[in-house]
Amino acid sequence: MNRLLVSVLLAGAAAAASASDMLASPAWLKENLADPKLVLFHVGAKADFDREHIPGAQLVTAQDLSIPKAESALMLQLLPSEPLREKLQSLGVSDDSRVVVYFGTDQIAPATRVYLSLDAAGLSDRTSVLDGGLPAWKAAGGGVTDAVRPGPVTPGRITVTPHPEVVIERNEVLEGLGKAGLDVIDARAPEFFDGTSAGAMPRAGRIPGARNIPISTLTTSELKLKTDAELGDIFKAAGVKPGDTVASYCHSGQMATVVYFSARRLGIKARVYDGSWDEWSRRDELPIETGPVK
């Protein structure tokens, strides 16, 4: 990989957020599990959480931090700043909390989606994703329980400045197509990116000019994030240059957050198109591409 690109990306990462802060290791979590300021979120299905979770964890889903489905045409849509602040406070999050988010089974994207919500609330500098999730915790000898936390959660208090700009809207994406500095990244599998399959969406294809970084390429077989050098190579191959902004999308705005998290780890400015293909494919006036990238 180009050494200059690596140095620029890593320098940006140091300025934006420490890589070790964004990713928590099982060893770090073991040492800090009893910290009264630790807020631990288990992201996954309730049945899995009820069977086993890290002691002290609360069950949270991406939908818990999104506009209710009855109020939105989109599958997932980030809560506005004030309702998001209130929801996180109800989960015990305060300005001085250290939040660790982990996935319960085999999907990293729901955990990075929750990270996005905390980032939007201005809490990214005190939020981490547990590298490898619950499987890595157990492999490292971490204990699990099926016990429910005793008593109600003590509400927190959040006063930090929110950052709703982590989300990019449809019109901003449309206006930025073909312009230098905005790299539209499609996080879906190749068959959706090239239009071979529409899946459950009205139209098949991709946003014009997008490049494909399937989320499976960003993690190891153990669902741990790849090294900075490996991630840097992947973003470079997708045309991302120092100073660019990555705008990621997927089917519904969840898988795109793995691209977002990986870019943020490298110090790349990143935003998530929350509407994603769920919105874009429904609007016939919006352009699409299919087939191989030219």
Q: Please give the helix or strand (H or E) that residue 112 lies within, else none.
A: helix 109-120
B/e letters for 160-183, b = 16+ CB within 10 Å, e = fewer, are eebeeebbbebeebeebeeeeebb
Q: What gap in Å lies between CA 173 and CA 287, rounded to an integer?
A: 12
DSSP for 220-238 reads -TTSPBPPHHHHHHHHHHT
Q: How many CA atoms lie within 13 A of 123 on its CB side?
A: 28
> What does the pLDDT look like over 201-223, one tens digit per residue?
999 999 999 999 999 999 999 99
What's the pLDDT band for 100 if we cut at 50, 70, 90? very high
Interval 224-236 mean pLDDT: 96
> What does the pLDDT look like over 119-174, one tens digit per residue?
999 999 999 999 999 999 999 999 999 998 777 899 999 999 999 999 999 999 99
Specify which residues 60 forms β-bridges with. 43
pLDDT computed for residue 48 by the predictor: 95
Domains of the chain and CATH, by start: 17-139 (3.40.250.10), 164-280 (3.40.250.10)
**Which pair of structure tokens corresponds to residue 185?**
């990244």
Pairing of strands 269-273, 245-249: parallel
Nearest to 157 by CA among 85, 75, 226: 85
Assess whether pLDDT exceeds 70 at residue 103. yes
Q: Considering Cα of 36, then 91, then 106, then 100, what sign does the dihedral take?
A: negative
Pairing of strands 38-43, 58-60: parallel
Claim: this prediction has a pTM higher than 0.85? yes
Nearest to 38 by CA among 116, 149, 161, 166: 149
**In whole numbers, what is the pLDDT of the chain averaged over residues?**
91
> What does the pLDDT look like over 59-71, one tens digit per residue?
999 889 999 887 8
